[in-house]
Amino acid sequence: MSSGSQVEELVFPNCENASEKYEKLAKIGQGTFGEVFKARNRETKALVAMKKVLMENEKEGFPITAIREIKILQLLRHENVVQLIEICRTRAGPYNRFKSTFFLIFEFCEHDLAGLLSNANVKFTLGEIKKVMQQLLNGLYFIHSNKILHRDMKAANILITKNGVLKLADFGLARALVSKGSNPKYTNRVVTLWYRPPELLLGERMYGPSIDVWGAGCIMAEMWTRSPIMQGNTEQHQLQLISQLCGSISPDVWPGVHKMELYDKLELPKGQKRKVKERLKPYVRDQYALDLLDKLLCLDPSKRMDCDSALNHDLFWTDPMPTDLTPMLSRHTTSMFEYLAPPRRRGPIHPQAPAHKPAHNPDQHFERVF
């Protein structure tokens, strides 16, 4: 919660009447934190995305989480980061019990990556996948250079414009990195389970940019597999799936891991070989791509490749070179968003749904997910 003056400071070219300025066209997203609409500026006709600030749980004032998201978005200006245009509110009156709603207004992007991957008609060539990953790593490199962690990397939070420009979006869980000396303790309950790196699952609270790199690795593999590669049902199950792909988690490959809070408390599979390349080869084929995937999906966060080195990887500097996505996207005239797409995955896990329970043979489960 925050005082009114703090909000006013934030609410720069403030727009006081959202519905007078913008015409809502369609609902395109329903996240944990509210609805997102496609809308049009009535005067300029520019398309925007309006993200509603959820105030329901707030007794008074503006939610601190939204303030954090706005502050971070205001700091970050880059071609590969979604641009916040302004904050807009609805006029308060008797029809809304004198409570106005706030919207974050963004530049509109035609697709999100989850929507694109869920459509079998959308086919990416190797050069196009390179272009997606190069832009994704470029955006991440920029935010990490500005000491911001995204903390919610996943395909639905990656937007792509019709001109083939990728934008990192959803800074709802993002936060600023503080200097190591001050012994920062961040929450480890971040990042959607399927994209959560092993250090977070083991209880690490002094993590860094490498948590986003793990997510980038999961997304990269998904460019070929078309659905998330490790769909765990619980934190324990997620660690099992990680061990089956990346090998057993042990001090041999990750010095010091045995000192982590949950290392002894969770059951970690023993004797698993690392099979990243072997398991992804049938989908990926390209040797450079397999090599980069192997380096992004490194168990030990201190040895995981950073964005700068990843951008210098041979993958991006050998034929086929990263290819403009525009011609491919121009063949698809409808917007593709996760919210509008048929379920691409076995879905968020519901205790009631037996199909989502862990399989008896975890290996068999793993194969099905791919």
Catalytic residues: 152
Q: Which does 159 bind (CB under 5 to 8 A by kind): Mg ion, ligand ADP, none?
A: ligand ADP
Segment interacting with Mg ion (CB under 5 A) among 123-131, 156-164, 178-186, 244-252: 156-164
139 is a site residue for ligand ADP (CB under 6 A): no
Cβ–Cβ < 8 Å for 195, 147: no
Alpha carbon distance 347, 151 (integer Å): 21
Structure tokens given for 130: 């390179």
82 is a site residue for ligand ADP (CB under 6 A): yes
Alpha carbon distance 66, 59 (integer Å): 15
Which whole-number Å values give the CA distances from 124 to 111, 133, 153, 357, in the listed order?
A: 14, 12, 20, 32
The sign of the CA dihedral 13, 168, 156, 303 is negative
108 is a site residue for ligand ADP (CB under 6 A): yes
156 is a site residue for ligand ADP (CB under 6 A): yes
Segment interacting with ligand ADP (CB under 6 A) among 33-41, 183-191, 199-207, 227-235: 33-41
296 is a site residue for ligand ADP (CB under 6 A): no
Cβ–Cβ < 8 Å for 305, 296: yes
Structure tokens given for 349: 């896990």
22 is a site residue for ligand ADP (CB under 6 A): no
170 is a site residue for Mg ion (CB under 5 A): yes
CB of 170 to Mg ion, least distance (A): 4
338 is a site residue for Mg ion (CB under 5 A): no
37 is a site residue for ligand ADP (CB under 6 A): no
CB of 68 to ligand ADP, least distance (A): 12
263 is a site residue for ligand ADP (CB under 6 A): no
127 is a site residue for Mg ion (CB under 5 A): no
Q: Which of 2, 6, 31, 277 binds ligand ADP (CB under 6 A)?
A: 31
Cβ–Cβ < 8 Å for 105, 89: no
Q: Which does 51 bind (CB under 5 to 8 A by kind): ligand ADP, Mg ion, none?
A: ligand ADP
Alpha carbon distance 62, 2 (integer Å): 6
Residue 74 CA, distance from chain mean position = 19
In DSSP terms, which residues pair with 148 in a beta bridge?
Answer: 176
Q: Which of 357, 223, 147, 176 has its CA nearest to residue 365?
A: 357
Nearer to ligand ADP, 73 or 292 (CB): 73
CB of 24 to ligand ADP, least distance (A): 13
Q: Which does 235 bind (CB under 5 to 8 A by kind): ligand ADP, Mg ion, none?
A: none
Nearer to Mg ion, 157 or 248 (CB): 157
Question: What residue has token string 């207004």?
Answer: 105
213 is a site residue for ligand ADP (CB under 6 A): no
Cβ–Cβ < 8 Å for 130, 350: no
DSSP 178: -
CB of 30 to ligand ADP, least distance (A): 7
DSSP 322: P
Subset of residues 328 to 367 that bind ligand ADP, contact rule: CB under 6 A: 337-339
Nearer to Mg ion, 110 or 170 (CB): 170
Q: Torsions phi, psi of 235, nearest 5?
A: -65, -40
31 is a site residue for Mg ion (CB under 5 A): yes
Cβ–Cβ < 8 Å for 272, 301: no
Segment interacting with ligand ADP (CB under 6 A) among 27-35, 257-265, 299-307, 312-320: 27-35
Amino acid at 328: M
153 is a site residue for ligand ADP (CB under 6 A): no
* Residue 271 Rama label (left phi>0; alpha psi -120 to 50; beta): left
Q: Torsions phi, psi of 7, nearest 5?
A: -65, -45
200 is a site residue for ligand ADP (CB under 6 A): no
What is the contact surface with Mg ion in residues (CB under 5 A)? Answer: 31, 157, 170
Residues that bind ligand ADP (CB under 6 A): 28-29, 31-34, 36, 49, 51, 82, 106-109, 112, 156-157, 159, 169-170, 172, 337-339
